[in-house]
A and B are shown apart, each in its own frame.
Chain A
Amino acid sequence: MNSIDDFVVLLRDELALSVTPEQVRQGFDAVPSWDSVHLLSLCTVLERETGRPLALSEVLEAPSLEAVYRLATGS
């Protein structure tokens, strides 16, 4: 996973979330049919993809999907 575009593909394939890169940058409110429970599955998926543990407490406080992406990739 090297870019937001890869992240968008991952969200679609793993969580059945159809989002645009634009919505990823905005807050969770902008994401269609977002549910906070998706965050739990997303953590599992991201840890598997990146092979790195994720600070779940920080993810749960992240303001947007982009912030989650940055936590996962360390960027």
Chain B
Amino acid sequence: MTQEAVRRQEPPSAPADAWARLVELHEAGELAAHYPRVRELLAELDDAAVLRAGNLLARLDPQQVLAAHPGTPAPGIAVTGHGTLSALRPALVAQAARHGLLARVELSDFDSWVFDLLTPDSDLYAARPQFALCVLDAEVVAGELPVPWSVADAERVLAAKLALVERAAEVFAQAAPGGTLVLNTLPLPRELTAQLVDLRSRARLGVLWREANVRLLRLPERWSQVVTVDLDPLLAAGLPARDVRQSVYAKAHLSAELLAGYAREVGHLLRQAAGGGKKVLALDLDGTLWGGVLGEVGPEGIEVSEGYRGEAFQRFQKVVRQLAAQGVLPAVVSKNDLEPVLKVLREHPGLAVRDEDFLQVRANWAPKHENLAAIARELNLSVDSVVFVDDSSFERGLVRRELPGVAVVAVGEEPARHVEDLLRDGWFDVRELTAEDRARPERYKEERARQDFLDTFDSLEGYLRELGVSVTLAPAAAEQIPRVSQITLRTNQFNLTTQRLQPADVEALAQSPDAQVLTIASADRFGDNGLVGAVLLRRAGDTVHVDNFLLSCRVFSRGIEQAALATVLADARATGARRVVGRYVPSAKNGKVADFYLRSGFVPVAGRDGEPGDGPGGEQAGPAEAVFEHDLADVPPPPAHIRLTARLRPAPEGNETA
């Protein structure tokens, strides 16, 4: 069957069916019971239909969903701000549901942001939201201008409002530890600038307004709890800032479209905070990375870089490289023969992204979902960390149906829109990019070399000896705090308790006298793995609690985890502890470490039934956790093949236990 014939087939599930099914579930009162299915149905819908679905989903009682599906991550979101923000609730609920999350949205009273955020005992803080959205608009300023007004008046009001926002950030940091405050820039309405008839004053207002927006955008530099959503790019993409009638009559000062775009950005923040990070960008070739069908027109016939369409495809290729430079792992999934594909990727002079940029090239005739699963397996990542881009609705539909956790991006027949389509959702957004992120593609390439090296050995022991693994265990330095936070946010498999920590949480732990934040770094003959894990310890009397133990999936099963744990045990004994206690909290992804403590000489002491979690925002705890204890009578040595450097506390002089 030719590619074209494949494309003409009906997709397995059409958008209209998905909408009909949603309405059916809603009318039967079964949305809560089938909540996991909602994500799959939303993935089929266009933007307008997702918003409409938000109206259905906003009627759901979150408690009913949690009763039916207790494991659903359900971030608490407080919405406060200046104008009427009711349109934001369905938009947020729908965006969260797209990511398999259940948004518990609390909308504050109209225009109560100052009281909500500046009063530490306000209801907003009492609810301990994981996210507080303070949605401000131009009317915050315009509404307080005298009549008549001058630029000096605008300057005065802007300064007063900015001072309030900055004070809000300060109070929030104290009153909502572990939470995130989301601010936004203020769109500048022409209706305001045009009231000044002299161009000099008008320009001056433009300067002052943008300076205020710059201050808002700079707030996250000072307060790591703050995220500022820049509305300018959304406006530049063509979203209307407001409907003036809605603004005048209903005090809704931001358009429903803009609020929907804003909710989409917030949805990605929620997704990252819940550990749903995306790492792999899996690309189709024909019609996606280049124009034309390689198998039919040959390497000379495809549109890669020249001509109108070639140039459009090349823009897309450059953006793929741009993402790869920031830690995204590109891969190819194409229905083609392998040899011609490799030849184009290696030799085509115009291609801006080449074979060495792709960690995996899967060009074959197997179903794409099987290839995506294989890519994830090879990279030792969850298939949910894959973003898949294809121009064929058939292929997209099949992948959606078979792998609901994969984010599927549709590119259309117009290649000039490919970049916009790819970037519409911030699938690869992170709060902060670390050196580890930038080095990730290189690290995975080293991993491939390691795999090839492994294949030359008969036994794993022989391999590990020759691999020359070195491990460094040390307290987290200030500059490593963002990376440790990121490990807690993005590690799903080797994550014993799945407790997510924002940078501010890690910093608080590192400074607590009873707690220790240890980092695990490793290297081997193929290169530096960098900071690959963390151990969070807390001492209570003669007991050392391992609050969490995390390790990047790239470096499992090399003895690194055993070396780190052996060091922790030896240190506990040396410093007078009587026992070390570790907890395992099951999640959807961490099953492979369920017996980590058992295999390491711990014995089970208790299995506690799930209680509401005490994490930021009172995340719902999963099922029962298990508690293990080591009596320190027999502490195992670290694995012999590992060169270990350990320094467990920031002592000024030699405290090395190598």
Q: Is the CB of A15 within 8 A of B87?
A: no
Cβ-neighbour of A16 out of B59, B87, B245, B252 (below 8 A): B59
Is the Cβ of A41 less than 8 Å from the Cβ of B249?
no
**Does A57 touch B at the CB level, under 8 Å?**
yes
Q: In this assembly, does A13 line the interface, its C-beta being within 8 Å of a C-beta of chain B? A: yes
Bound CA–CA A56/B247 (angstroms): 11
Q: Is there contact, CB below 8 Å, between A16 and B250? A: no
Q: Is the CB of B87 within 8 A of A37?
A: yes
List of B residues within 8 angstroms of A18 by Cβ: 27
Q: Mark B220-264, 1 if CB is under 8 A from A, else 0.
A: 000000000000000000000001011001101000100000000
* Cβ contact within 8 Å between A40 and B250: yes
Q: Does A22 contact B (CB under 8 A)?
A: no
Say yes or no: A40-B52 contact (C-beta < 8 A), given A13-B23, A16-B26, A56-B246: no
Known: A13-B52, A14-B52, A16-B56. A41 touches B87 (CB 8 A): yes
Most chain A CB inside 10 Å of its own CB: which residue of B27, B52, B243, B250: B250
Specify the chain B residue showing the minimal Cβ separation from A45.
B52
Whether a CB of chain A sits under 8 angstroms from the CB of B84 is: yes
The answer to whether B63 has its CB under 8 Å from any CB of chain A is no
Q: Are B86 and A56 in touch, CB under 8 angstroms?
A: no
Residue of B nearest to A61 (CB): B249
B55 within 8 A of A: yes
Measured between beta carbons, the chain B residues less than 8 angstroms from A12 are: 23
- The answer to whether B55 and A16 touch across the interface, beta carbons within 8 angstroms, is yes
Q: Contact check: which of A14, A44, A56 meets B249 at CB < 8 Å?
A: A56
A40 / chain B contacts, CB cutoff of 8 Å: 84, 86-87, 246, 250, 252, 256
- Which of B23, B59, B84, B245 gathers most chain A CB within 10 Å? B245
Cross-chain contact of A60 among B26, B56, B249, B256 (Cβ < 8 A) = B249
Number of A-B contacts (CB under 8 A): 39
B38-87 interface (Cβ within 8 A of A): 52, 55-56, 59, 84, 86-87
Categorize the interface residue count of chain B: 10 to 19
Q: Which residues of B contact A33 (CB under 8 A)?
A: 59
**How far, in angstroms, from A53 to B522 measured CA to CA in the complex?**
65
Give, as a whole number of angstroms, the nearest-CB distance from B246 to chain A: 6
Please indicate the chain B residues that have their CB under 8 angstroms from the CB of A35 in the complex. Answer: 86
Q: How far is the CA of A70 from the CA of B628 in the complex (A)?
A: 69
Known contacts A13-B23, A16-B26; is-contact A44 B55 (Cβ 8 Å): no
**Majority DSSP secondary structure for residues of A touching B:** helix
Which of A15, A16, A41 is in CB contact (< 8 Å) with B256?
A41
CB of A16 within 8 A of CB of B86, answer: no
B250 — which chain A residues lie within 8 A by C-beta?
39-40, 56, 60
The distance from the CB of B583 to the nearest CB of chain A, in whole angstroms, is 42
A16 to B57, CA, bound (A): 9
Nearest B residue to A37 via CB reads B86
A8 to B559, CA, bound (A): 65
Contacts of A60 in B (CB 8 A): 249-250
Closest A residue to B56 by beta carbon equals: A16
Which B-chain residue is minimally distant from A15 (CB atoms)? B55
Contact A16 B52 (CB under 8 A): yes
Return chain A residues, CB-CB under 8 Å to B246: 40, 43, 56
Complex formed: what's the CA distance from A40 to B85 in Å?
11
Residues of A within 8 A of B252 (CB): 40
Distance in Å: Cβ of B570 to nearest Cβ of chain A? 61
Minimal Cβ-Cβ distance residue in A for B52: A14
On whether the beta carbons of A44 and B256 are closer than 8 Å, the reply is yes
Q: Is B84 a contact partner of A37 (Cβ separation < 8 A)?
A: yes
Q: B residues within 8 A CB of A16?
A: 26, 52, 55-56, 59
List of B residues within 8 angstroms of A44 by Cβ: 243, 256
Q: How would residues 2 to 46 of chain A score, 1 for a CB under 8 Å from any chain B CB and 0 otherwise?
A: 000000000011111010000000000000010101011101100
Contacting residues, chain B, for A39 (C-beta < 8 A): 250
In the assembled complex, how far is the CB of residue A71 from the closest CB belonging to chain B, in whole angstroms? 13
Highest count of chain A CB atoms <10 Å: which of B26, B27, B59, B86 = B86
Write out the residue numbers on chain A whose beta carbons fall within 8 Å of the beta carbon of B86: 35, 37, 40
| A44 to B52 alpha-carbon distance, docked (Å) | 13
Determine the distance from Cα of A41 to Cα of B252 in the docked complex, in whole angstroms. Answer: 11
B256 proximity list for chain A (CB < 8 A): 40-41, 44
Instruction: Provide the residues of chain A in CB contact with B87, threshold 8 Å.
Output: 37, 40-41
Q: A15 vs B256: C-alpha distance in the bound complex, in angstroms?
A: 14
A45 to B137, CA, bound (A): 24
Q: How far is the CB of A50 from chain B (nearest CB, A)?
A: 16
Looking at the assembled complex, report how far the CB atom of A40 sits from the nearest CB atom of chain B, in whole angstroms.
Answer: 5
Specify the chain B residue showing the minimal Cβ separation from A12. Answer: B23
- Kindly report which residue of chain A lies nearest to residue B86, judged by CB atoms: A37
A41 to B255, alpha carbons, bound, how many Å?
A: 11
Measured in the bound complex, the distance between the Cα atoms of B59 and A18 in whole Å is 12
Q: Which of A16, A33, A35 has the most CB of B within 10 A?
A: A16
Instruction: Bits for B6-36, please: 1 = Cβ < 8 Å to A, else 0.
Output: 0000000000000000010011000000000
| Pairwise interchain contact A56-B245, C-beta atoms closer than 8 A | yes
The B-contacting residues of A in range 35-75, CB under 8 angstroms, are: 35, 37, 39-41, 43-44, 56-57, 60
The smallest C-beta distance from B243 to any residue of chain A, in angstroms, reads 8
Q: Given that A40-B86, A41-B256, A44-B256 are known contacts, is A57 also in contact with B249, CB under 8 Å in the complex?
A: yes
Q: Chain A residues near B59 (CB, 8 Å)? A: 16, 33
Q: Give chain B residues whose Cβ lies under 8 Å from the Cβ of A15.
A: 55
Q: Given the complex, which residues of A lie within 8 Å of B27, measured CB to CB?
A: 18
In angstroms, how far is the closest chain A Cβ from the Cβ of B130? 24
Closest CB in chain B relative to A73 CB, distance in Å: 19
Q: Which residues of B contact A13 (CB under 8 A)?
A: 23, 52
- B56: which A residues are within 8 A, CB to CB? 16
Query: Which B residues lie within 8 Å of A14 (CB)?
Result: 52, 55
Tell me the smallest distance from the CB of B49 to a CB of chain A, in Å.
10
What are 10 sample pairs from A and B whose C-beta atoms fall under 8 A apart? A13-B52, A15-B55, A18-B27, A37-B86, A39-B250, A40-B252, A40-B256, A56-B246, A56-B249, A57-B245
Q: A residues engaging B (CB < 8 A)?
A: 12-16, 18, 33, 35, 37, 39-41, 43-44, 56-57, 60
8 interchain residue pairs of minimum CB distance = A37-B86, A16-B55, A56-B245, A16-B56, A56-B249, A40-B250, A15-B55, A57-B249
Given A16-B56, A41-B55, A41-B87, 8 extra CB contacts under 8 A: A13-B52, A14-B55, A16-B52, A35-B86, A37-B87, A40-B250, A57-B249, A60-B250
